[in-house]
């Protein structure tokens, strides 16, 4: 059976693109090294037609498929299980920019294009593809779409979903759906595009996408502001939205302990403001120029100082200073890793409920695990917190995780649910949060999702064991 499938795959792709021995750890182990799988074969098709041939061969043999892009996912959605019977379908060779239509502000790219290459191809036309996230140098646009990736520009430009106008998909039956529309308006039937976006490879395989491009801003300006409370940070967000409108492209929050870890592990990084309970990083993208951007920023921050919403602020004086401020923010996950293992939560909440969520959940965690240290930071403008729990000082991190992870997750996710939030803001469900989804999602929604899965993948061969 396996031998016959491998023969079919070799016939479809050529033997060089069907890897069955050698070191395949780049595909079989996830980026965080939490999942170690073993594939029957790693296959590397070079076109949508070859992807379709792979799917048809797998269907004919009743063998399941795991699609993979840049293998940078955080929830174990893109590596095979340990059975040695799944086919790992790498999209890496589908990496052509098929077309750029500057007058339509769109580009059509294949799924295996690295996000940074997509950004650069747009920039070469003086246009902006705004999706931006830490893994952009190695993640692929297909993976970004399959997981509806977020990142730092969502506040202004939306998630991956909002940046995609059309898709090409190989269905679970091995047919190619050409939905590569470059249209802003198209009301012809059910929204198949958004069903495949975020479906994590469980309904079909995204092979190409038509993306929405934006004008390049003429200038970007960054500032830090210090807030006494998280409620003040939320008030600053409202003030910034009212005064900057669509110019506000970044609004990140960093808790005092999170920044103290950066200071501890990366002491060379400049810290323009004294420590405060909450530090906000604001970014403005300006369609006019640097001076206009700075003028708006200074007006905003002065008014916020007067109102007592912030206690201090610093506006970057140069592009280099802007980069340093972003570097502070981006160093938090690294500083956290230096400090040791921790329990991560990628959660979303209505912005208005974040202050209460943090106060009450912090207290619940302290009661359950006295001394637990909370690394709290994230995309406050989107209501997205990375609310991570580090072992108490002097406690072994691995032992802490073994002893406390399930209880900590239950406390945090129960609080998320009570505050109308989501247990996965931008990382998806994958294998990691599959049981949590069953626990927290409404039975009605789960039943609808299962009906859709059954309808579009009746044999259950598309990335089984993920999401549902």
182-221 binders of a second copy (CB under 8 A)? 182-192, 194-195, 197-199, 203, 214-217
Partner residues linked to 441 by β-bridges? none
Contact window for a second copy (CB under 8 A) among 13-21, 30-38, 55-63, 343-351: 343-351
Judged by CB under 8 A, the chain residues 346 through 375 that form the site for a second copy are 348-353
The residues with which 109 forms a beta bridge, in sequence order, are 97, 209
14 Ramachandran zone, left/alpha/beta (phi>0; psi -120 to 50):
left
| Strand pairing class (384-390; 373-379) | antiparallel
**Residue 44 or residue 294: which is nearer to a second copy going by CB?**
294
Q: For the CB of residue 338, give the shortest distance to a second copy in the complex, in Å.
A: 27
Q: Looking at residues 251 to 310 of the shown chain, list those that interact with a second copy (rule: CB under 8 A).
A: 287-288, 296
Q: What is the DSSP letter of 29?
A: B
Site string for a second copy, 153-172 (x = CB under 8 A): -xxx-xx-xx--------x-
Query: Among 135-143, 181-189, 335-343, 402-410, which window interacts with a second copy (CB under 8 A)?
Result: 181-189
Listed ranges 88-96, 366-374, 396-404, 428-436: which one lies at the site for a second copy (CB under 8 A):
428-436
CA distance 386 to 135: 16
The full DSSP string for 68-98 is ESSS--SSS-SS--TTS-EEEEE-TT---EE
Cβ closer to a second copy: 19 or 452? 452
- For the bound state, the minimum distance from the C-beta of residue 105 to a second copy, rounded and expressed in Å, comes to 7
Give the residue carrying structure tokens 């929830």: 75
According to the binding rule CB under 8 A, does residue 177 interact with a second copy?
Answer: yes
Residues between 83 and 142 with contacts to a second copy, criterion CB under 8 A: 101-106, 126
CB of 235 to a second copy, least distance (A): 8
Q: Looking at 176, 226, 233, 325, which residue binds a second copy (CB under 8 A)?
A: 176
Pick 17 or 76: Cβ nearer a second copy: 76
Structure tokens, 159: 């998630």
CB of 346 to a second copy, least distance (A): 9
Q: Is 445 in the site for a second copy (CB under 8 A)?
A: yes
157 Cβ neighbours under 8 A, 6+ residues apart: 130, 131, 163, 214, 249
Q: Which residues does 205 contact at the CB level (< 8 Å), separation at least 6?
A: 51, 55, 65, 67, 89, 91, 111, 169, 170, 462
- In contact, 198 and 468? CB cutoff 8 Å: no
Q: How far is the CB of 186 from a second copy (least distance, A)?
A: 4
- Name the minimum Å distance from CB 185 to a second copy: 4
The answer to whether 176 touches 170, Cβ cutoff 8 Å, is yes
């Amino acid at each position: 059976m396996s031998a016959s499938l491998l023969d079919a795959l070799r016939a479809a792709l050529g033997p060089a693109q069907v890897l069955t021995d050698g070191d395949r750890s780049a595909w079989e182990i996830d980026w965080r090294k939490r999942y170690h799988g073993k594939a029957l074969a790693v296959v590397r098709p070079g076109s949508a037609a070859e992807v379709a041939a792979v799917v048809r061969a797998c269907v004919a043999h009743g063998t399941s498929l795991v699609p993979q892009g840049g293998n940078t996912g955080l929830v174990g959605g893109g590596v095979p299980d340990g059975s040695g019977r799944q086919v790992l379908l790498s999209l890496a060779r589908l990496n052509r920019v098929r077309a750029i239509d500057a007058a339509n502000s769109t580009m059509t790219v294949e799924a295996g294009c690295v996000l940074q290459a997509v950004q650069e191809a747009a920039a070469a036309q003086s246009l902006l593809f705004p999706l931006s996230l830490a893994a952009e140098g190695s993640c692929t646009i297909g993976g970004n779409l399959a997981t509806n990736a977020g990142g730092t520009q969502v506040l202004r430009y939306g998630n991956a979903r909002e940046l995609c106008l059309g898709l090409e998909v190989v269905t679970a039956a091995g047919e190619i759906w050409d939905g590569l529309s470059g249209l802003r308006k198209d009301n012809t039937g059910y929204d198949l595009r958004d069903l495949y976006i975020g479906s994590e490879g469980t309904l079909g395989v995204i092979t190409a996408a038509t993306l929405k491009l934006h004008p390049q801003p003429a200038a970007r300006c960054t500032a830090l502001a210090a807030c006494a409370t998280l409620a003040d940070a939320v008030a600053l967000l409202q003030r910034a939205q009212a005064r900057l409108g669509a110019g506000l492209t970044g609004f990140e929050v960093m808790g005092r302990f999170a920044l103290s870890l950066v200071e501890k592990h990366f002491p060379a990084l400049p810290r323009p403001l004294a420590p405060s309970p909450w530090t906000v990083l604001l970014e403005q993208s300006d369609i006019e120029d640097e001076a206009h951007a700075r003028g708006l920023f200074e007006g905003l921050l002065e008014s916020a100082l007067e109102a007592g919403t912030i206690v201090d602020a610093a506006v970057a004086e140069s592009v280099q200073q802007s980069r340093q401020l972003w570097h502070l923010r981006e160093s938090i996950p690294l500083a956290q890793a230096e400090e040791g293992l921790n329990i991560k939560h990628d959660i979303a909440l209505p912005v208005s409920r974040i202050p209460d969520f943090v106060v009450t959940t912090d207290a619940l965690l302290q009661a359950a695990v006295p001394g637990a240290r909370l690394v709290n930071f994230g995309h406050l403008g989107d209501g997205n917190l990375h609310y991570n729990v580090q072992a108490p000082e002097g406690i072994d991190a691995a032992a802490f995780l073994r002893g406390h992870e399930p209880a900590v997750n239950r406390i945090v996710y129960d609080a998320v649910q009570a505050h109308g939030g989501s247990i996965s803001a931008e990382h998806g469900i994958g294998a990691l949060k599959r049981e949590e989804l069953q626990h927290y999602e409404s039975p009605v929604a789960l039943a609808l999702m299962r009906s859709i899965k059954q309808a579009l993948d009746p044999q259950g061969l598309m990335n089984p064991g993920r999401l549902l």
